[in-house]
């Protein structure tokens, strides 16, 4: 893709991100679960927006996984375990401007399967 197309795609994602973030917010009892994906890996973190702190995080690079649906489920399982260790059962899902499809949807579904209410 050309630089112009990539710039446009990023601008549209950031526009969607602002629109989504305007509607949701996380607190300590119900944090915001934000996902970031690149072409190589995926990252997730639970954020308390009131105090601006990260409560839990999961890094796909540290687990040695790639950015596909199967690996998103593995990352979600690890992330759900860290959330449960902190006593968090309910969260708000922030898709971070990505379409709810593919890796993002697989991550959210796997979180639900592992006992986190979204």
| Domain of residue 17, CATH code | 3.30.420.100
In this structure, are residues 30 and 93 in contact, taking their beta carbons and an 8 Å threshold?
Answer: no
H helix runs in the chain, sequence order = 3-21, 60-63, 69-85, 103-113
Overall pTM > 0.85: yes
The string of pLDDT tens digits covering residues 40-98 is: 999 999 999 999 999 999 999 999 999 999 999 999 999 999 999 999 999 999 999 99
Query: 70 lies in which domain range?
Result: 3-113
Query: Tokens 């994602």 identify what position?
Result: 13
Confirm whether 78 is domain-assigned.
Answer: yes
Q: Which two structure tokens, joined as six digits, stand for 42?
A: 């995926």
| pLDDT tens string 28-50 | 889 999 999 999 999 999 999 99
Residue 118 lies in a domain: no
How many structural domains does the chain have? 1
Cβ atoms 64, 31 nearer than 8 A:
no
């Amino acid at each position: 893709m050309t630089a112009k197309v990539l710039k446009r795609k990023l601008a549209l994602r950031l526009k969607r991100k602002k629109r989504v973030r305007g509607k949701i917010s996380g607190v300590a009892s119900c944090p915001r679960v934000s996902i970031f994906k690149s072409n190589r890996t995926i990252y997730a973190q639970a954020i308390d927006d009131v105090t601006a702190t990260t409560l839990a995080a999961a890094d796909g690079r540290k687990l040695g996984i790639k950015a596909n649906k199967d690996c998103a489920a593995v990352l979600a399982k690890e992330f759900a375990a860290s959330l449960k260790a902190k006593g968090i059962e309910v969260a708000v899902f922030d898709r971070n401007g990505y379409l709810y499809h593919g890796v993002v949807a697989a991550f959210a579904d796997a979180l639900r399967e592992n006992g986190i209410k979204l």
